[in-house]
A and B are shown apart, each in its own frame.
Chain A
Amino acid sequence: DAKTTQPPSMDCAEGRAANLPCNHSTISGNEYVYWYRQIHSQGPQYIIHGLKNNETNEMASLIITEDRKSSTLILPHATLRDTAVYYCIVKGAGANNLFFGTGTRLTVIP
C-alpha cells in the first residue's frame, strides 16, 4: 500500500493561503488521494479527495501533480479555526489501506 510523507508542522498567517504538501511517490494507478484534518481531541474530518485532476470544494483545493507522486492541499484564506493536524492518505479499493501516519500540524497565527 502506498504511504505518504508530510512535514511535521507548518505555520500560516491568518487570511493567507495555507499550502500543505504531501509526497506519495509509490501511489498506484487506482489509488485516490484523500485529505482529512483533526482538531484536538475530536475525530478526523474529511476535507477533499481526488484521483488525478485538481479538485475544489467549499473547504479547500487539491492540486495533484501530473505524475501523481505528490499533491498540495490549499486552504485559500486560513482562519484560526483551521488550526489542526492535516492528514494526507492514499486509498484504493478495499478497507485495508486507510493509513493515516502522523500528518502536518498547521498553526494559523493571528
Chain B
Amino acid sequence: DGGITQSPKYLFRKEGQNVTLSCEQNLNHDAMYWYRQDPGQGLRLIYYSQIVNDFQKGDIAEGYSVSREKKESFPLTVTSAQKNPTAFYLCASSIDYGEAFFGQGTRLTVV
C-alpha cells in the first residue's frame, strides 16, 4: 500500500543524547515536512524539503537537523542542543497542489 511510515512509534532518550526519527514515503512525493506538536497545541514546522539534497528551516529548527539523500526518506535528528525535546513528532509529504499525507507520528520522551 502507498503511504508514509514513521518509526518508531515511541522513543525514549536520555538527556544529552542525539536521536534520529525515521520517515519514509512511497508516494513519489517531492515535498516532505517535519512538525512538532506539544500537548494541546497545533503543529509547528521544524524543517521542510522540496527536492532531494535540499531542505529549509521552518519556524522551530534550532536543535534539529535533517537530510534528504533520497526522495523517499527524510530523517530527523533531535540533537542534544534541543532543550525541550519531549513532544509528538509528525512527518508529512505532498505534491505541489495536492493534499499532504501524514505519518502516525513518533512520541519522543526524554528520561
| B interface list, Cβ under 8 A from A | 30-33, 35, 41-45, 48-50, 56, 88, 90, 92, 94, 96-97, 99-105, 107
Given the known interface contacts A42-B104, A87-B42, A101-B42, the answer about A95 and B99 at a Cβ–Cβ threshold of 8 Å is: no
14 extra interface residue pairs, beta carbon distance < 8 Å, beyond A94-B50, A100-B35: A34-B100, A36-B100, A42-B105, A43-B105, A44-B100, A46-B100, A87-B42, A93-B96, A95-B31, A95-B48, A98-B33, A98-B45, A101-B42, A102-B42
- CB-based contact B49/A41 at 8 Å: no
Q: Provide a sorted-by-A list of 6 A–B residue pairs whose CB atoms are within 8 angstroms.
A: A43-B102, A45-B102, A95-B30, A95-B31, A95-B49, A98-B94
Closest to B43 in A: A100
B40 → chain A closest CB, angstroms: 9
Cβ distance A19 to chain B, nearest Cβ, rounded Å: 21
* Pairwise interchain contact A49-B31, C-beta atoms closer than 8 A: no
Whether A95 lies near B42 (C-beta < 8 A) is no
Mark contacts of A32-71 with chain B using CB atoms, 8 A cut-off: 1 yes-contact digit, 0 otherwise.
1010100001111110010000000000000000000000
